[in-house]
Amino acid sequence: MTLAVGISAGWFFWAGAELEPEDNTDSIAIDQVFNQTFIAQPEANNQTANISCQTDQIELASNIQYRFIDGTDPNHLSLDVYYPADQDCRDWPVMIYVHGGGWREGDKTDLSAEQVKYFTDQGFIVISVNYRLSSKIKYPAHHQDIADAIAWVVNNIRQYSGNPESLSVTGFSSGADMVALATTNNRFLTETGVSLQNIRCAVILDAGGYNLANIIDNNEVYIKVFGTTTQILSAASPINYLTTNKYLPNFLIVTRGNIKRINDATFFYGKLLATGHSAQLVWADSLPHLEVDEVFGTDEDNVIAPATTDFLKSCR
- Taking only the tens place, the pLDDT of each residue in 231-279 is 999 999 999 999 999 999 999 999 999 999 999 999 999 999 999 999 9
Selection from 250, 285, 290, 283 nearest residue 266 by Cα: 283
Cα radius of gyration rounded to whole Å, the chain: 19
- Whether the upstream peptide bond of residue 164 has omega within 30° of 0, thus cis, is no
Report the number of distinct structural domains present in the chain. 1
Q: Count the neighbouring beta carbons within 10 Å of the beta carbon of residue 142.
A: 23
> By residue range, what is the domain housing residue 185?
3-314
- Taking only the tens place, the pLDDT of each residue in 194-245 is 999 999 999 999 999 999 999 999 999 999 999 999 999 999 999 999 999 9
- Looking up residue 259, the CATH number of its domain turns out to be 3.40.50.1820
- Structure pTM? 0.87
